[in-house]
Chain A
Amino acid sequence: MPETIQRDSLIGKRITKLDAPEKASGKTRYIQDLDVQGQLYGKILRSSRVHAKIKRIDTSKAKALPGVHAVITAADVPYQRPIGVAKDHFPLKTDRVRSTRDEIAAVAAESEAIAEAALKLIEVEYEDLPILADPYDSLKPGAPLIHPEPHGASAKHDHLKQAQGIAYLGKPDNVAMTFDYAQGDVAAGERESDVVFEDTFTLHYVTHCCMGVSGIIAEFDSSGNLLLYSNTQVPFLHKREFAEILSMDPARIRIIQPPIGGGFGSKLDIYPFEPICVYLAKATGRPVKLVFTREEEFLASPTRQPVILTLRSGCKKDGTLTFRTVNTLHDNGAYTSWGATTPFVMMQTISSLYRVPHCLYHTKAVYTNNPYAGSFRGYGNLQATFAVEQHMDMMAEAIGMDPLDFRMKNAQDPGEVTPQGMHFKSCGLKECLTTAAEMSGYREKFKINLANRDKPGHIKRGIGMASMLHVGGGAKIYPSDGCGTILKMDDFGSVTLITGASEIGQGSETVLAQLVCEELGLPLSAVRVVNNDTEITPWDVGVHASRTTFIAGNSAIGAAKKARSKILAAAATQAGLNADDLDLRGSHIVEAKSGTVVMSLSKLLRQLHFNDKAELVMTSFYYEPPSRHQDKHFKGDVSAAYAWATQVVEVEVDTDTGIVKMLKVTGAHDVGRVLNRLGIEGQIEGGIVMGQGYALTEELMVENGIVRNPGFRDYKLVTAPEIPEMDVRFIETMDGEGPQGAKGVGEAPAICIAAATANAIHNATGVRIMALPFTPEKVYRALHAAKKEAA
């Protein structure tokens, strides 16, 4: 036993993720690798039409195929209830299909191949309806309705059904959701302005491309309890929602999450395949496994929200921002998922990234026959930042101010309470701006590139910057934004940390373990994390809003602090010392001042355990952040902390081809404090590459309701040789509410890249492109048009 132990800390160190060895060696068992005794395989028949009435479905041939156990259509599940954010979506379509992803029938069979063959034997007769492929068309008077109210639906009985979530009665127009926000008086703001710009920005479809495709296994036991192996990011919300849509007692539903092969927001909603798999399990009395093909993943998992955003903004000659007016049109697709609610996040950037006295903001999500959007890392913020940060550069140019100085003049400071009600208790925006600019040599390069713009040669260099604001301390979206922790210690000084927070690859279990070790003076190897079973783990609101480190971290610290007090009190009694003078270090109880070892932790725990007043060290804690719901005017301090960043992108534009090569990304990120340096670097680098794909290469091409590139051949993810050099610095503002001072960072790194790239292309070529992505052809066309105009 050592005589003295000095204080040591894991915080800020480079810690290998706890799940890395299993993942790197290919031993992790994802849902694809899980098999349940007696399971059948589920497959879904999707629509071959974009918009049509279903006249007839004949499943008799499919049912007759040997090895097929069930073929179901909407007629077989009269108990099905609508799902989704607006409860406008029946898992199996009843009378019509509204997009090519629409589910018409499903099969459970003894093998995937048999299920696949059975799908081909299902006959469907359609009657085509006019297609709405453009959200503008959906708003035209007399436009066909995507969810028409059924005839005679006015009966009270039907409305009662809708109120109970049994039916969806449709809408008299194609407007799915609207948001309106106002602060100050934009007309007054405009009168004070010396410069006003108005432009329309067009943001496209991209999709998450999780390495692990969607999947679920549904199994009923003999007592009618439902076990779901599910990749959900929000197990407790889903438990409740599954109970509602299946008319089940929530106590009878258990969700186990196998290791998840990527989420990025895509697993935040319930999609038709999940209840359909349950219907199949019910119909067959057997466990059913349903896993998407990659093509299906492209067609039937959600996208990032496409947005047409018109921004009008102004400033004074001295660089003071005066107002912003925003109108957006969100293509809602045929059904409403989380994409329709992205304006909630977008308005934060519009109103509060910089100080803007007057803001007016209207958004409309409208139904079309296109794919529908869900939640996706950044949640509308990439779209809003793309518009806002391009206008920042344009206004700076118009008043002859350096883009960095212009941003500095309007940047938020710590302590600010914005007109929208956000309170920035910690705020490193100005430090992010100056740090990223200095690290990248922004000012000098910006000027040099401008000077080289019109010189001969087809390679032009550009540099551009953008900043971002995002929630970093949870987000008050539900009545609670909390997370529970249970912590138990065994006889040997090891901890089992049972947390409500899900691991979806972001590294949360490692960070939570670190935080517990910090309180209890333990090595990382002494902690096991249990986080994937609703029967065991305490309640949590799920992985979203970059909340897990902050919320689950504070919760874990709370439970660990309780255990620490218990241990130190017991040690103090035994050793005849004062608990306040003791500390936990290196799995020992020590005197805090000198580090002199008093006793080993394991010995103390055994003594507590094996005596006549036996006590186990077990604690629980629930953390609810000090944030507030927005009021009905969308004002309020929704997050306990806010994250900030500035990213500078350097590009090379080949004017002969339109190819934009991303050379370097320099980032300065206010993360509160670095907890796991290796983990946070991975988050930032991964986010930058995701942002790069959004900016340059990725596009789900939807033409007349049909996805034209449902595969990695023509849906272009960034490949290794395209990844830029990255230079990232962390600004540690030590947030007062954060766990060890940390703030959330998961979404932040993807947000600025497209905006900064747009500014860099402009710096290189003088051409401003307001539609994404910057594919070679789009850039070449823009350069070509500019050349023609000049000539």
Chain B
Amino acid sequence: MTALDNYIAPTSLEQAVEQLQELGEVTILAGGTDLMPQANAGRVKFKRTLMNIRRIPELRGITREGDEIRIGALATISEIMTHPLIREYLPLLVTVGDHFASSQIRNAGTLGGNVCNASPAGDTLVPLLVLGASVELASMLDDKLFRRSMPLPEFFVGPGKTRLAPAELLAAVRIPVPPKGFVARFHKFGTRPALDISAISIGISGVLDKGTLSQVRVAFGAVGPTPVCGAATEEALEGKKLDAATIAAAAVAARDEVHPISDVRASDWYRKEMIHNMTKRILEDVSASH
């Protein structure tokens, strides 16, 4: 039996963060696709208040604001996959959605939830990292609604742990509109093609100009306590001609800079091997298709 003292469903962002500040002990419910299984399995304990944020209009919608695409925290994976702005500017996220759980989960699960759940294997996190995303965090400051922005790499602390303050709510994810020549790839590697949790995942992006990569971003999932950026791999690629030697060096750099663990899904050794082999495969694919 779960003893919930209180259930609230605020209808504005301001009201929500006000109540957060006031009540302190609050569990946030968005899509519920992570929260409910975790609660049922006893891995997450409900706090005294359950806050349903699904009635907050400011958390919805996908819009372009200047040079950024703003995706409201409540945007579901299905909405993201079908939205014209995403399809035009951030097609990588459409691919990501395609490998994300099942249709039922994609219809309910939200981007904000996937980010706040902060699983090292969270399917949207590696792609968001290589898209240069930041998070928009809302709270009350001096009795006023206050928003701050944080680059995504700083947001993750550990499995299920983020820099979100206790009285803070993730309002949106912001992604810069990619520059000309931008290429991005995401590879989710699991042991089956559907309904799987990645054994590893890799994201690579950059600007490709005459066979040379620049502004390279690399990220890996399920190889550490958080999704991680691949600085050494980025360095191996930055400003280099994307030829066989560069690809080989980048694949080795990738393998050497990750420190995965062994668990029921894969051993550390196999994870490193797959980081190597799949980094190579992705880069060969980029090289071949441009």
B15 close to chain A: CB less than 8 A: no
> Whole-angstrom distance from the CB of B262 to the nearest CB of chain A?
10
Determine whether the beta carbon of B194 is less than 8 Å from that of A721.
yes
- In the assembly, what is the distance between CA of A597 and CA of B31, in Å? 67
Q: Which of B265, B270, B273 contacts A714 (CB 8 A)?
A: B265
> Whole-angstrom distance from the CB of B100 to the nearest CB of chain A?
14
> Whole-angstrom distance from the CB of B253 to the nearest CB of chain A?
18
Complex interface residues of chain A between 709 and 755 (CB less than 8 A to chain B): 709, 713-714, 716, 718-722
Determine, out of B146-154, B185-193, B236-244, the stretch whose residues face the partner at the interface: B185-193
A694 close to chain B: CB less than 8 A: no
A701 with B264, Cβ < 8 A, contacts A114-B1, A657-B274, A780-B273 known: yes
> Whole-angstrom distance from the CB of B247 to the nearest CB of chain A?
14
> Whole-angstrom distance from the CB of A705 to the nearest CB of chain B?
16
- Can you show 20 pairs from A to B with CB atoms below 8 A apart? A113-B1, A114-B1, A657-B277, A657-B278, A697-B191, A708-B264, A709-B264, A714-B197, A714-B264, A716-B191, A716-B192, A718-B192, A719-B195, A722-B194, A775-B191, A776-B191, A777-B266, A777-B267, A780-B270, A780-B273
Closest to A719 in B: B194
**B residues near A721, Cβ cutoff 8 Å:** 193-194
Closest to B2 in A: A113
Closest to B195 in A: A719
B281 close to chain A: CB less than 8 A: yes
Determine whether the beta carbon of B194 is less than 8 Å from that of A720.
yes
**B residues near A701, Cβ cutoff 8 Å:** 264
> Whole-angstrom distance from the CB of A306 to the nearest CB of chain B?
18
Determine whether the beta carbon of B264 is less than 8 Å from that of A657.
no
> Whole-angstrom distance from the CB of B202 to the nearest CB of chain A?
13
Q: 5 tightest A-B contacts by CB?
A: A656-B277, A777-B270, A719-B194, A721-B193, A113-B1
Listed residue (B194, B196, B270, B281) with the most chain A CB atoms within 10 angstroms of its CB: B270
- In the assembly, what is the distance between CA of A25 and CA of B271, in Å? 44
Closest to A699 in B: B264
A40 close to chain B: CB less than 8 A: no
- In the assembly, what is the distance between CA of A552 and CA of B30, in Å? 54
**A residues near B265, Cβ cutoff 8 Å:** 714
Number of B residues whose C-beta is below 8 Å from A?
A: 19
Q: Which of A656, A657, A722 contacts B193 (CB 8 A)?
A: A722
**A residues near B270, Cβ cutoff 8 Å:** 776-777, 780-781
Complex interface residues of chain A between 748 and 791 (CB less than 8 A to chain B): 775-777, 780-781, 784
- In the assembly, what is the distance between CA of A781 and CA of B195, in Å? 24
**B residues near A697, Cβ cutoff 8 Å:** 191-192
> Whole-angstrom distance from the CB of A748 to the nearest CB of chain B?
26
> Whole-angstrom distance from the CB of B104 to the nearest CB of chain A?
13
Determine whether the beta carbon of A116 is less than 8 Å from that of B1.
yes
> Whole-angstrom distance from the CB of B135 to the nearest CB of chain A?
27
**A residues near B278, Cβ cutoff 8 Å:** 656-657
- In the assembly, what is the distance between CA of A719 and CA of B195, in Å? 8
A570 close to chain B: CB less than 8 A: no
**B residues near A113, Cβ cutoff 8 Å:** 1
> Whole-angstrom distance from the CB of B171 to the nearest CB of chain A?
30
Complex interface residues of chain B between 187 and 232 (CB less than 8 A to chain A): 189, 191-197
Closest to B196 in A: A716
A117 close to chain B: CB less than 8 A: yes
Listed residue (A116, A718, A721, A777) with the most chain B CB atoms within 10 angstroms of its CB: A777
**A residues near B1, Cβ cutoff 8 Å:** 113-114, 116-117
- In the assembly, what is the distance between CA of A656 and CA of B281, in Å? 9
> Whole-angstrom distance from the CB of A174 to the nearest CB of chain B?
28
Q: Annotate B128-170 by CB proximity to A: 1 below 8 A, 0 otherwise.
A: 0000000000000000000000000000000000000000000
- In the assembly, what is the distance between CA of A500 and CA of B240, in Å? 76
Closest to B271 in A: A777
**A residues near B189, Cβ cutoff 8 Å:** 657
Q: A656-B278, A777-B267 are in contact. List 4 more A-B contacts (CB 8 A).
A: A708-B264, A714-B264, A720-B194, A780-B273
**B residues near A656, Cβ cutoff 8 Å:** 277-278, 281
- In the assembly, what is the distance between CA of A114 and CA of B267, in Å? 40
A213 close to chain B: CB less than 8 A: no
Closest to B191 in A: A776
**B residues near A720, Cβ cutoff 8 Å:** 194
> Whole-angstrom distance from the CB of A48 to the nearest CB of chain B?
14
